[in-house]
């Protein structure tokens, strides 16, 4: 009887460790990726600093804006509502969209590793990164990670992305402008702008991204929410996330990690409908999270810590000032093991115990 129980536990352990780790990115993640600016010193900001950073005031001043907020979300929502009946508001809204698309397309990752480089290398193909961000930085980090491994996470672009293209005929997503198998270049993905009611279903690429995220959330063992404040223009998005995650009473063993520079009480209040009692951790730095401390084995290490009561060694993971060679040293043995155990039932080991 004891052997049967042990066997059942091993099956349970394997199934838990092989479940997805879902990472949800907001504007704060891109801000943390290039805190001192991109390769050319160009800085990025959250929506609250967008108007000033992009120099959009001269465009917005072409119409009389009623909102007193300088947040692009509030301004754009007003323009969107008024543009139905006001041609001038429609013109200003369209001009804003063109400027934003062009501005976002110009970002380049610095030569040294960034948070996004560490993030991509901390996950594997069973995992998914779902980003609300338009900038191309995550896509550029994916390209750099592929120099070391093809076993990288799936990515979902929930509001579109300036670096991503899509072919509806062949259902192919990739770098914008790259040739599809049909011979046509991948067309730019649509960007979803901050309006009260976003359309997540009519655009095929965005619908596909949400479907990928929903499927992963239903199966996820861990969620990391990085720099995403769940703004009021994203009410529908939060509803969709909650539907996929389900009742917290059915998520008694899953773990939520939040990486955010806001105070802990404010952050936890934003996400309390996703958290079962004490099953969360809060960090202000990526490097203090499980992804930073236990890269490529976050679910394995978390299960060992919580269910097998194993004390983890948090010093063997990523450190803030590592170069690409250092990242390779941390991950290359893990990647070799992944390749060796691919398509087997064997659990992956990890060095963090």
Q: Which CATH superfamily is domain 2-40+108-341 in?
A: TPP-binding domain (3.40.50.1220)
pLDDT reported for residue 193: 83
pLDDT of residue 45: 74
pLDDT, average across residues 18-25: 97
DSSP annotation string for 282-298? EESSGGGSHHHHSTT-H
Q: Range with the lowest mean pLDDT among 110-124, 177-191, 231-245? A: 231-245
pLDDT band at residue 1 using 50, 70 and 90 as cut-offs: very low
> How many whole angstroms separate alpha carbon 55 and alpha carbon 207?
32
- If DSSP codes are grouped into helix, strand and coil, which group holds residue 38? coil
Q: How far apart are the C-alpha atoms of 159 and 27, rounded to whole Å?
A: 12
Half-sphere exposure of 109 (CA within 13 A, CB side): 22
Percent of the chain with pLDDT over 90: 64
The pTM for the full model equals 0.92
- The fraction of the chain above a pLDDT of 70, given in percent, is 97
pLDDT digits (tens, 9 = 90+) for 26-62: 999 999 999 999 999 998 876 666 777 777 888 998 9
Summarised one tens digit per residue, pLDDT across range 315-325 is: 999 999 999 99
pLDDT tens profile 59-90 = 998 999 888 888 888 888 899 889 989 999 99
Alpha carbon 197 to chain centroid distance? Answer: 21
Confidence of residue 119 (pLDDT cuts 50, 70, 90): very high
- pLDDT of 259-270, one tens digit each? 999 999 988 888
β-partners of residue 280 are: 256
Q: Tell me what the pLDDT averaged over the chain comes to.
A: 91
- Name which residue leads in pLDDT, 299 or 242: 299
């Amino acid at each position: 009887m004891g052997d049967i129980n042990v066997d059942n536990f091993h099956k349970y352990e394997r199934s838990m460790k092989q479940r997805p780790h879902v990472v949800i990115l907001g504007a704060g993640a891109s801000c943390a990726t290039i805190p001192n600016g991109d390769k050319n010193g160009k800085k990025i900001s959250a929506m609250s600093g967008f108007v000033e950073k992009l120099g959009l005031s001269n465009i917005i001043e072409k119409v009389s804006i009623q909102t007193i907020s300088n947040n692009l979300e509030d301004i754009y929502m007003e323009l969107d509502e008024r543009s139905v009946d006001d041609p001038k508001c429609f013109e200003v809204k369209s001009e804003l969209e063109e400027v934003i698309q062009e501005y976002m397309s110009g970002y380049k990752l610095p030569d040294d590793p960034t948070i996004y480089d560490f993030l991509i290398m901390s996950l594997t193909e069973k995992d998914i990164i779902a980003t609300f961000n338009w900038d191309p930085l995550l896509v550029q980090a994916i390209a750099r990670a592929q120099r070391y491994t093809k076993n990288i996470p799936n990515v979902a672009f929930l509001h579109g992305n300036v670096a991503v293209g899509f072919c509806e005929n062949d259902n192919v997503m990739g770098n914008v402008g790259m040739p599809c198998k049909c011979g046509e270049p991948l067309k730019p993905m649509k960007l979803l702008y901050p309006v009260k009611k976003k359309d997540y279903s009519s655009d095929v690429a965005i619908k596909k991204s949400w479907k990928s995220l929903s499927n992963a959330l239903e199966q996820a063992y861990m969620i990391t929410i990085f720099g995403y404040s769940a703004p009021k223009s994203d009410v529908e998005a939060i509803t969709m996330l909650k539907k996929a995650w389900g009742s917290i009473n059915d998520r008694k063993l899953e773990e939520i990690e939040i990486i955010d520079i806001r105070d802990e009480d404010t952050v936890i209040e934003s996400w309390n409908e996703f958290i079962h009692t004490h099953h969360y951790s809060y960090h202000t730095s990526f490097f203090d999270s499980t992804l930073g401390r236990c890269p490529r084995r976050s679910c394995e290490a978390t299960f060992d810590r919580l269910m097998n009561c194993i004390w983890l060694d948090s010093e063997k993971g990523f450190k803030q000032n590592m170069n690409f060679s250092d990242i390779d040293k941390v991950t290359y043995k893990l990647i070799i093991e992944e390749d060796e155990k691919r398509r087997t039932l064997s659990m992956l080991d990890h060095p963090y115990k």
